[in-house]
């Protein structure tokens, strides 16, 4: 675990679209780790941050309204201590990340593919948010 005299642990979270799961992981890792971590997220096919991602994060007190979806290529020249893939597609698309350290894979279901009513879609986003939040807290505690 990094102390205040050490550099923060640099974490990159990768996903396909950088719209849901990786955004949630970035938010919760940063909140759980505080100054001990520096977290970024990106996607191999970035789109836009999903509005329901912003909504369910706000329910946990995280203002994510200014976030943007980023391509992995934007971060290729930055060193990371840990590369986390949160979907199988990202793990397969990025077997090696330049400047990347330890690899961690934790696949979460994609809430964006859930069809149904607004309430059903929101429930899916909340479920994944809760899973990602619990995982992020455990992950940071183990650093």
Catalytic residue among 2, 93, 94, 122: 94
Among this protein's residues, is 94 annotated catalytic? yes
Among this protein's residues, is 20 annotated catalytic? no
- Rounded to an integer, what distance in angstroms lies between the CA atom of residue 101 and that of residue 141? 19
- Rounded to an integer, what distance in angstroms lies between the CA atom of residue 123 and that of residue 138? 23
| CA atoms lying within 13 Å on the CB side of residue 19 | 16
Among this protein's residues, is 87 annotated catalytic? yes
Catalytic residue among 87, 124, 128, 140: 87
Catalytic residue among 12, 13, 14, 15: 15
- Rounded to an integer, what distance in angstroms lies between the CA atom of residue 87 and that of residue 132? 12
Residues recognised as catalytic: 15, 87, 94
């Amino acid at each position: 675990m990094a102390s205040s005299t050490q550099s923060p642990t640099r974490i990159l979270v990768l996903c396909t679209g950088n719209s849901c799961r990786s955004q949630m992981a970035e938010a919760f890792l940063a909140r759980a780790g505080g100054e001990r971590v520096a977290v970024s997220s990106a996607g191999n096919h970035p789109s836009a941050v999903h509005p329901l991602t912003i909504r369910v994060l706000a329910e946990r007190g995280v203002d994510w309204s200014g976030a943007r979806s980023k391509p992995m290529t934007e971060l290729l020249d930055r060193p990371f201590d840990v590369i986390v893939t949160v979907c199988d597609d990202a793990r397969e698309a990025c077997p090696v990340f330049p400047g990347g350290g330890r690899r961690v894979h934790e696949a979460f279901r994609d809430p964006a593919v859930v069809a149904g009513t607004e309430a059903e879609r929101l429930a899916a986003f909340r479920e994944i948010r809760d899973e990602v939040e619990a995982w992020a807290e455990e992950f940071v505690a183990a650093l």
